[in-house]
Structure 1
Amino acid sequence: MAKVSALVVDDAPFIRDLIKKALRSHFPGLQIEEAVNGSKARQLLARTSFDLILCDWEMPEMSGLELLEWFRGQPGQQKTPFIMVTSRGDRDNVVQAIQAGVSDYVGKPFSNEQLISKVSKALHRVGKLELLRSRPVQTSVGHAQESVSALLGSRRSSAPATTARPGAGAQEDHREVQLRSPVRAQLRLAEVQLPCVIRRLSLRDAQLLVRRNERLPSLFESAVLDMEQGDEDAVVRINGYLHALSALEDRLESEWVLVTIRFVDQDPAKLESLSLLIAAAG
Structure 2
Amino acid sequence: MSKVSVLVVDDAPFIRDLVKKCLRNYFPGVVLEDAVNGRKAQALLLKEKFDLILCDWEMPEMSGLELLTWCRQEESLKTTPFIMVTSRGDKENVVQAIHAGVSDFVGKPFTNEQLLTKVKKAMHRAGKLEALMSGGPARTSSGLANDSLSALTGGKAEVVRSAPAAPAGSPLIRPAAAPAAAPAGPSAAPAGRGQGQLRLAGGNQPCVIKALSLKEALLLVRTSDTLPQILESAVLDLEQGDNAEVARLNGYLHAVSAFEQKPDSEWLQLNFRFVDQDAQKLDYISRLIARGSAQKHFVPGA
TM-score by length of 2: 0.82
CA distances 1:39-60 after superposition (whole Å, capped 9, x unpaired): 1111100000100000000111
- Residue number in structure 2 paired with 1:167: none
Distance 1:224 1:110 in 2: 10
Partner amino acid, structure 2, of 1:93: N
Cα shift at 1:144: 9.7
Aligned to 2:35: 35
Distance (Å, rounded) in 1 between the aligned partners of 2:136 and 2:156: 32
Distance 2:144 2:229 in 1: 24
SS of residue paired to 1:110: coil
What displacement does 1:138 show?
6.8
Structure 2 residue 146 is the aligned partner of structure 1 residue 153: no
SS in 2 for 1:252: coil
- Alpha-carbon separation, structure 1, partners of 2:156 and 2:280: 22
> Which residue number in structure 2 is paired with residue 166 of structure 1?
none
Matched residue, 2:76:
76
Partner of 1:165: none
State TM-score, norm by structure 1: 0.87
Structure 1 position 133, deviation (Å):
2.2
Mark the runs of 5 or more structure 2 residues left unpaired by the alignment.
158-165, 177-191, 294-302
Which residue of the partner structure matches residue 65 of structure 2? 65
Match of 1:234 among 239, 245, 250: 245
Q: Secondary structure in 2 aligned to 1:11? A: coil
CA displacement at 1:75 relative to structure 2: 1.2
Q: Using the alignment, how far apart are the partners of 1:155 and 1:49 within structure 2? A: 36
Give the Cα separation in 1 of the matches to 2:132 and 2:23.
11
Q: What is the Cα deviation at residue 143 of structure 1?
A: 11
Q: Determine the C-alpha separation between the residues in 2 that align with 1:256 and 1:129.
A: 45
Say if 1:109 and 1:188, in contact at 8 Å, map to a contact too. Answer: yes
1:108·1:224 contact (CA, 8 Å) conserved in 2?
A: yes
User: What is the aligned counterpart of 1:176 among 172, 197, 219?
Assistant: 172
Letter matched to residue 27 of structure 2: F
| Local SS of the residue matching 1:131 | helix
Kept in 1: contact 2:22–2:144 (CA 8 A): no
Indicate the SS of the match to 1:177: coil
1:109-128 → structure 2 map (5 Å cutoff): 109-128=109-128
Greater per-residue helix proportion:
1
Distance 1:251 1:77 in 2: 58
1:76-95 equivalences in 2 (<5 Å) = 76-95=76-95
- Identical-pair percentage: 60
Runs of 4+ in 1 over 6 A off after TM superposition: 142-147
Q: Residue 248 of structure 1 contacts residue 257 of structure 1 at CA under 8 Å; is this kept in 2?
A: yes
Letter of the structure 2 residue corresponding to residue 88 of structure 1? R
Structure 2 Cα separation of the partners of residues 143 and 14 of structure 1:
15
Amino acid aligned to 1:86: T
Equivalent residues, number: 269
Residues 146 and 212 of structure 1: CA distance in aligned 2, closer, same or farther (over 3 Å):
closer
Amino acid at match of 1:85: V
Query: Which runs of no fewer than 5 residues in structure 1 stay unpaired?
Result: 163-169
Contact (CA 8 Å) 2:149, 2:155: kept in 1 or not? Answer: no
CA distance in 2 between counterparts of 1:236 and 1:224 reads: 10
